[in-house]
């Protein structure tokens, strides 16, 4: 079974703090993703990575950065947390598939509910 784990289920941080959200997958997937989920807005892609040390901006990268030093681990960093970053954060992974990419679903972690006060 594919397993995607996230370091925390619930996190409370103060405005201005630096926040690290960690995601680990155990299926040797090339691609990893970070989303945020907000009521009425669905899932929005923050960043994704298609290889170690490679990253691409998603739809809402402002205020976030990412790090991928090892294939199995993808970190989301909030450099200076703000209250508008209070949200549910979801990590996902999928195999790469050049030409077959469309066949593969994404596997999601359980999510981290972050509250910034």
Partner 1 sequence: GNSVTQMEGPVTLSEEAFLTINCTYTATGYPSLFWYVQYPGEGLQLLLKATKADDKGSNKGFEATYRKETTSFHLEKGSVQVSDSAVYFCALRGGSEKLVFGKGTKLTVNP
Of residues 22, 67, 71, 104, which one binds partner 1 by CB under 8 A?
104
CA-closest candidate to residue 22, choices 70, 65, 75: 75
Query: In angstroms, what is the minimal distance from the CB of 110 to partner 1?
Result: 4
Closer to partner 1 by CB, 43 or 77: give it: 43
Residues of this chain, 43-82, that bind partner 1 according to CB under 8 A: 43, 45, 48, 50, 58
If one asks whether residue 103 binds partner 1 (CB under 8 A), the answer comes out as yes
- Of residues 15, 27, 28, 41, which one binds partner 1 by CB under 8 A? 41
Contact yes or no for 6/110 (Cβ under 8 A) = yes
CA distance between the termini of the chain: 37
94 binds partner 1 (CB under 8 A): yes
Tokens, residue 107:
């596997």
Which residues, 7 to 36, sit near partner 1 by CB under 8 A? 31, 33
CA distances from 79 to 12, 15, 82, 106, 108 (A): 15, 10, 9, 27, 24
């Amino acid at each position: 079974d594919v397993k995607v784990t996230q370091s925390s289920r619930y996190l409370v941080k103060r405005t201005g703090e630096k926040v690290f959200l960690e995601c680990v997958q155990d299926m040797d997937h090339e691609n990893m993703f970070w989303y945020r989920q907000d009521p009425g807005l669905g899932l929005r892609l923050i960043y994704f990575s298609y290889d170690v040390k490679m990253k691409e901006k998603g739809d809402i990268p402002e205020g976030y950065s990412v790090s991928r030093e090892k294939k199995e681990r993808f970190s989301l960093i909030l450099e200076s947390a703000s209250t508008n970053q209070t949200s549910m954060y979801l990590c996902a992974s999928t195999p790469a598939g050049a030409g077959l990419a469309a066949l593969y679903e994404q596997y999601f972690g359980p999510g981290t509910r972050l509250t910034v006060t």
